[in-house]
Amino acid sequence: MSCTPPSDSAPSTTAPTAATVHTLPEHILEILSDSGEGAQKCGQSFGAVSAKMGNGAWTVEIIPAEIQPPPRTPEGASGVRIRIGTDEVTNWGNRTKLVIAFNEQVLLSRHRVQALADDAIILIENMWETHADANIRQAWADAFAELSTANYRFIQVPMEEECLKIVDNPRRGKNMFALGLMSWIYHRDVEKVKDQIAMQFRHKPKEVYERNVRLLEAGIAWAQTHLDFRFDIPTGDVSEDLVVMNGNTALAMGAVMSGLELCSMYPITPATSVSHYLSSIFDDMGGVVHQAEDEIAAIGVAIGASYAGKVAFTVTSGPGMALKTEFIGLAVMSETPLVIVDVQRGGPSTGLPTKVEQSDLLSTLFASPGDSPKVVLAPSTIEECFHCMITARQIAETFRAVVVVLSDANLATGQQPFSRPKLQANWHALEPNLGPVKDGHQPFGWDAETGLSQRIVPGRLGGQYTATGLAHNEDSHVSYDPYNNQRTSAMRSRKLAVLQSTLEPPRVVGPESNDLLLVGWGSTRGAIEEAAEKARAEGLGVSSTHLTFLSPLQPGLKEIFSRFQHVMTVEINYSDEADDPYINEENRRRGQLSWLLRATTLVDVDCWTRVLGQPLSPGDILQVIKKKLS
């Protein structure tokens, strides 16, 4: 049986008289393919070009869990959602308005999670409808029966057929043809697109670039001849010097700029690309990327390097953090400065390796034997991924502390333009003091009030001491004196209170007192602030605040919360619904930040959380706000 999509299904053979141009403040599009067909590359290129043209942009990769999932399955969908706008774009938005799909199965995957607007325009590869394999034809028919529940406008595109005119293997060309379609539809500057392609293939022979440009041009030509619509998203100010990158690249660059000289890691999704990027540039800058044999060895090397005077960092994800727990304790006990980047993913166990979640907050804070105080901070934008590394290193050294940077898969792979950082020599620390140690200087000469002490880098004359993970006194001599343990635990803990004394209360976006305060952390900031702004525009009393320091928490939270009728965290981690079976106030498991805030402020902080493996949408948050205030 064959099923024809309900509208505009057959490609027109004649050119439309003129395409209607719709000028819009923003638009969301997706490109979807099987894994390995290059949709992600295409989407990220489109996002980068849009940003370079002056559009606000935010991209989110749609990544299958397997490296090579079976083709033509909803689970194998690979692609990118790109939200572009005239103004700054801070999140992936609500529903997708335009899709380019390489087959109907990958399209189904997005339809089933209600990612697409009801009136979305869908450009779909048409080869499957008439495929020689009857099973494929049947799958096509079944898919369209399911898709017919929405009012999508379908446009069939002979991608394979068009690409075969240029390349032998369309699997390696369709993405550039699709980039051509998108470039024409959204009025992209073709020269900039070509520049992007040139950059992408800069390490390949020239003919590869030329072939891809021909595919791009073929896509543009096809769109010109067959499409009757275009979208114009006016660009904003392009005078500012911007850079475009994803969060993992930003973290890596930030690490370099902060003067960190060693990255010791073990590969783990979605953190690995930090070290991939770093390994391509670090050596030239005097840095080292060390791939250790496992997660434990990775942090061990970092602690060793840091102890020896080169402040180091390790990068991992949730399961890696679990393995590193024991050594984190050693760094805390030996007061060795250390920066740990945790790019969070869905859990527990192997969980959702390629999907976003914010579920490592409590385990980062508490998953350690004994009392193991550490600093935890969370960047909320890709720009902050860059800058937070500088602050993290400074805190780690000043406080002889472990600083954990909690990023997530959303920031890791998403791209966003931001102001080119103006590099400062002061971001780099001076070389460690290698002069002789003054008489009386002890390796743990804690200041009784602050718990701070000056570290001694090995090799300094008169500075020899035994480093140990055992309880120790000021001279680093092992000490089982019960009062010593009480005192030294207090010293290590006090440092967090001292750090908190240097922090400012978080900024409240919206009125300072109101009906509802939304509290978020990490990558949800854009979606929360957008939802709150829309709610305020509808007359609702909503403000929001976003916490970047999670340990110690920024001061003044209790006072801020007291100015609101309701306080609710919005997070990407699991919590029981209050009205679920068996769930009551006593046993309800809450969002992780909510739990933390309730414990520290004694305020009845509610939560709304989701673990869908995808970023939160401002539209969904808006609905939650309305429900909360109704």
Partner 1 sequence: MPSDAHTKHLAAVAKPSLEGFRSSLATTIAQLQSLVAELEGDEAARSVHMAEHLGAFAQGRVNPNRFAQFAQGQQAATPAAAPVLQRAIAVLQEVHQAGTQLTHHTLQPGKNLRCLLSHSLRQIGRAFGAARVAQLATAGCFDEREHAPLLDQYLFRYWGPEQRKLAPMLVIHIEDGDVQATNLGEFLDGAVKVILNFGNLCSAAPLARLISPGVFVVQTTDPQLLAEFAAWDGPGVAAIVPQDCAQFVHNPLAGTALHQRLNLLHLPSHAPKHAFGGLSLQQQMEDVHQLQVLAKAAESAPASEEASPARPVDKLAALLLNKAHLEEV
β-pairing, 402-408 vs 375-377, is parallel
The site that binds partner 1 (CB under 8 A) totals a number of residues, namely 42
Of 55-63, 356-364, 388-396, 562-570, the window that binds partner 1 (rule: CB under 8 A) is 388-396
Give least dist CB 580 to partner 1, A.
37
φ and ψ of 307, to 5 deg: -60, -35
Instruction: Name the 3-class secondary structure at 616.
Output: coil
The radius of gyration of the chain's CA atoms, rounded to the nearest angstrom, is 27
Rounded CA gap, 274 and 520, in Å?
Answer: 25
Residue 426 contacts partner 1 per CB under 8 A = yes
Rounded CA gap, 159 and 182, in Å?
Answer: 13
Nearer to partner 1, 451 or 613 (CB): 451
Strand partners, 403: 339, 375
Rounded CA gap, 389 and 377, in Å?
Answer: 10
- Shortest CA distance to 421 belongs to which of 549, 195, 245, 236? 245
Rounded CA gap, 216 and 226, in Å?
Answer: 16
CB 73 within 8 A of CB 105: yes
Give least dist CB 459 to partner 1, A.
12
Helix (H), strand (E) at residue 376: strand 375-377
Residue 447 contacts partner 1 per CB under 8 A = yes
- 431, 512, 577, 604: which one binds partner 1 (CB under 8 A): 431
- Within residues 545-574, the interface with partner 1 by CB under 8 A covers 548-549, 554
Nearer to partner 1, 501 or 600 (CB): 501
Going residue by residue from 467 to 506, which x/- string records binding to partner 1, judged by CB under 8 A?
Answer: -------------------------------x--xxxx-x
Rounded CA gap, 370 and 300, in Å?
Answer: 19
Q: How many CB atoms are closer than 10 A to CB 512?
A: 10
Instruction: Name the 3-class secondary structure at 84.
Output: strand
In the block, tokens 């090397």 appear at 301
Q: How many residues does the chain have?
A: 630
Residue 420 contacts partner 1 per CB under 8 A = no
- Within residues 269-298, the interface with partner 1 by CB under 8 A covers 284, 286
Give least dist CB 9 to partner 1, A.
51
- 61, 129, 397, 530: which one binds partner 1 (CB under 8 A): 397
Going residue by residue from 600 to 629, which x/- string records binding to partner 1, judged by CB under 8 A?
Answer: ------------------------------
Instruction: Name the 3-class secondary structure at 334.
Output: coil
Give least dist CB 390 to partner 1, A.
3
Longest dimension (CA), the chain: 90
Give least dist CB 413 to partner 1, A.
21
Nearer to partner 1, 399 or 595 (CB): 399
Task: State the DSSP code for 415.
Answer: E
- 91, 200, 248, 394: which one binds partner 1 (CB under 8 A): 394
- Within residues 320-379, the interface with partner 1 by CB under 8 A covers 377, 379
φ and ψ of 547, to 5 deg: -95, 130
- 452, 532, 567, 596: which one binds partner 1 (CB under 8 A): 452
Strand partners, 474: none
- 86, 398, 489, 601: which one binds partner 1 (CB under 8 A): 398
- 203, 206, 438, 627: which one binds partner 1 (CB under 8 A): 438
Residue 581 contacts partner 1 per CB under 8 A = no
Residue 242 contacts partner 1 per CB under 8 A = no
Tokens of 361: 């907050």
- Within residues 55-74, the interface with partner 1 by CB under 8 A covers none
Q: Alpha helix locations (H) across 81-188?
A: 104-112, 134-147, 159-164, 174-185
Residue 464 contacts partner 1 per CB under 8 A = no
- 349, 424, 584, 587: which one binds partner 1 (CB under 8 A): 424
Nearer to partner 1, 15 or 434 (CB): 434
Strand partners, 377: 405, 549
Residue 384 contacts partner 1 per CB under 8 A = yes
Q: Which residues bind partner 1 (CB under 8 A)?
A: 258, 284, 286, 377, 379, 384, 387-388, 390-391, 394, 397-399, 421, 424-428, 430-431, 433-436, 438, 447, 450, 452, 454-455, 498, 501-504, 506-507, 548-549, 554
